[in-house]
Amino acid sequence: MNYQLFLCILVSSIAAQQVSSPQGTLKGLFKKSEWGRQFEAYLGIPYAKPPVEELRFKSPVPFGKWEGVRSAVKEGPVCLQESVWNSENSDEMGEEDCLYLNVYTPSSAKPKKYPVMVFIHGGGFEGGTGNQMLYEPDYLLDRDIVLVTMNYRLGALGFASTEDVELPGNFGLKDQSLALKWVKENIAAFGGNPDSATKFGQSAGGASVHYHMISPLSQGLFQRGIPISGTAHCPWAISAPGVIAKRTRKLASLVGCPAEPSALLVECMRHIPAYLLITLKTEFLEWNMDPVIVFTPVIEPDGVKDAFLKADPHTTPTKLPAMVGFTSEDSAFRIAMFMSGPKGLQYYLDDLNDNFDDLAPISLLYGQTASNPDQISTEIRKFYFGDKNITKQVVPDLLNMYTDCYFSQCSFSFVRHHKGPAPVYLYLFAHRSEYSSSFKQSNSTEYMGVNHGDDLNYLFPMRAAVDRTKGLSVADKNMREEMLTLYTNFATFGNPTPQQTENYRDRPKTKVVKWTPSSASNMEYYHIEGGKTKMDKKPIDRRAQFWKGLQW
């Protein structure tokens, strides 16, 4: 390890005081924020018993209490997944025993009760972690909040389902709900206010936030939600009835288990090595990286006593205050993956051009839901490409197509399905950064826009996901302060731009444009861009109306 880096870690991570929570006593670390503010970190706190052996494919069981002082200076393992960020040459990373969370709190927290922000990581319900390898707390802990991050079961271990009482599914979401309950019961000991919790997440984490806003298991456990680039209305966030059961039975057959009946399938798969259950995604792919997510949340059947999701999220309104939005080129990762794939961008463009009616229902995820997928394909192609062939010249239109289908239309749908007096703040993040993750994903220096997750760079210093070979520009530093102000204001006041705000004397004062709520009758959104932030309605209003009118 680089000596200076080691010294920095040593200096910024010093044993902290003990915290006595209802679960037990913990000893953590003192750390330093981006602006040199001291905070405390309590890492690797178990919130559920290890979901192994007989607890595999079951709802999580609370970890319970411990005696004595538990060391909280090391994070728990990431949940088992295919190796996206793994530096070793193996197909999987993580462990099945992974249900741990981390708490970060200002050192001055006691006895003041700060608002709590609970983060759910993304990764398509298949990958990711709440640990510091991706989500360091250094930015957010410059502000007066308590931050909680967590790990939850992924892939088949978290979302396989036979869509019956034997294997109802949604175990990863139930993990998250139990972590929320842990926060409600324990966070006061860390200086947090259990009655002022904001759940925020990105991508699959954003869809998860939406699910918790409508799930009976999570009612009363938090007060506000921020779905970022993902809601439960996104086509990748839920599957048509029967789809996940079919994939689960196929997985069982692939690992040598009976596909029927469900009880025998579950019993057999509980004894299969866990890594085999999460490394077979290629067996399910139909084209390129599609379906983008193999095992998704499902609507659970009647008779499940701890059901997380009982009804279609499209028919279940949200009622809590919310911030929801997406980035201007949220699907740049799709183009980046075409570019970095073994066949190259031109191959996939030609394939789409020649076989659009066959491939679009697979890639845009309406093949299993639309009554007339050929008609939908015709309408989509005409809207985005007109009479043009799908070539490199229309890649910006292709990018808009994927962004609208995967992210923007489901953010607008979230607003339309919100009921009650609580406000919804809709945004579009369009700030261009030289640290866009699309560079790393495409192995290219070609800029493709504000990619999926680029907004998180201003909430977390995501060193593993982007290439930071030099420091942040002045524009990016200003954007970081603007984003932190908006998010922590919402967590504190329920309004991202209130008249009152916290005063941080050790950093530049951040001026923000007034953000007004959106509604089904007023889809005006907050356009976030360095030096150009404003309330806006165009240019995506026409695109939003197109997807609203599709019968898919």
Q: Which of 218, 452, 518, 527 is catalytic?
A: 452
Per-residue pLDDT at 444: 56
Please, is 422 exposed, middle or buried when counting C-beta atoms within 10 Å of its C-beta (0-12, 13-18, 19+)?
middle
Is 418 annotated as catalytic? no
Q: Which of 33, 203, 377, 413 is catalytic?
A: 203
Q: Give dist(CA 276, CA 264) in Å, integer.
A: 18
Strand residues in 143-259 grouped as ranges (E): 146-150, 192-202, 224-228
DSSP assignment of 427-477:
EEE----TT-HHHHHHTSS----S-TTGGGGGTS--TTTS--SSPPPHHHH
Tokens of 115: 């608002």
Calculate the dihedral angle through the C-alpha atoms of 363, 366, 369, 374, rounding to the nearest 10 degrees: -110
Question: How far are the Cα atoms of 193, 331, 466 from residue 44, in angstroms, in the given order?
Answer: 21, 33, 25
Question: How far are the Cα atoms of 259, 327, 520 from residue 102, in angstroms, in the given order?
Answer: 38, 27, 37
- pLDDT tens digits in sequence order for the chain, 552 residues long: 444 443 444 444 566 789 999 999 999 999 999 999 999 999 999 999 999 999 999 999 999 999 999 999 999 999 999 965 444 445 678 999 999 999 999 997 566 799 999 999 999 999 999 999 999 999 999 999 999 999 999 999 999 999 999 999 999 999 999 999 999 999 999 999 999 999 999 999 999 999 999 999 999 999 999 999 999 999 999 999 999 999 999 999 999 999 999 999 999 999 999 999 999 999 999 998 899 999 999 999 999 999 999 999 999 999 999 999 999 999 999 998 888 777 889 999 999 999 999 999 999 999 989 999 999 999 999 999 999 999 999 999 999 999 999 999 999 999 999 998 999 999 999 998 877 665 555 555 566 789 999 999 999 997 765 665 667 888 899 999 999 999 999 999 999 999 866 555 455 566 789 999 999 999 999 999 988 999 998 767 889 899 999 988
Calculate the dihedral angle through the C-alpha atoms of 251, 252, 253, 255, rounding to the nearest 10 degrees: 90
- Least Cα distance to 237 among 413, 422, 464 occurs for 413
CATH topology of domain 1-48+56-322: Rossmann fold (3.40.50)
Rounded to 10 deg, the angle between the 204-214 and 171-186 helix axes is 70
Q: Give dist(CA 445, CA 314) in Å, integer.
A: 40
Per-residue pLDDT at 438: 56
Q: Give dist(CA 312, CA 552) in Å, integer.
A: 15
Question: How far are the Cα atoms of 51, 57, 282 from residue 82, in angstroms, in the given order?
Answer: 18, 19, 11
Per-residue pLDDT at 74: 97
Q: In terms of DSSP bridges, do strands 192-202 and 114-120 run parallel, antiparallel, or are they unpaired?
A: parallel
Tokens of 121: 């990581």
Q: Which residue ranges make up each domain of the chain?
A: 1-48+56-322
Per-residue pLDDT at 405: 97
Is 203 annotated as catalytic? yes
Tokens of 449: 């826009």
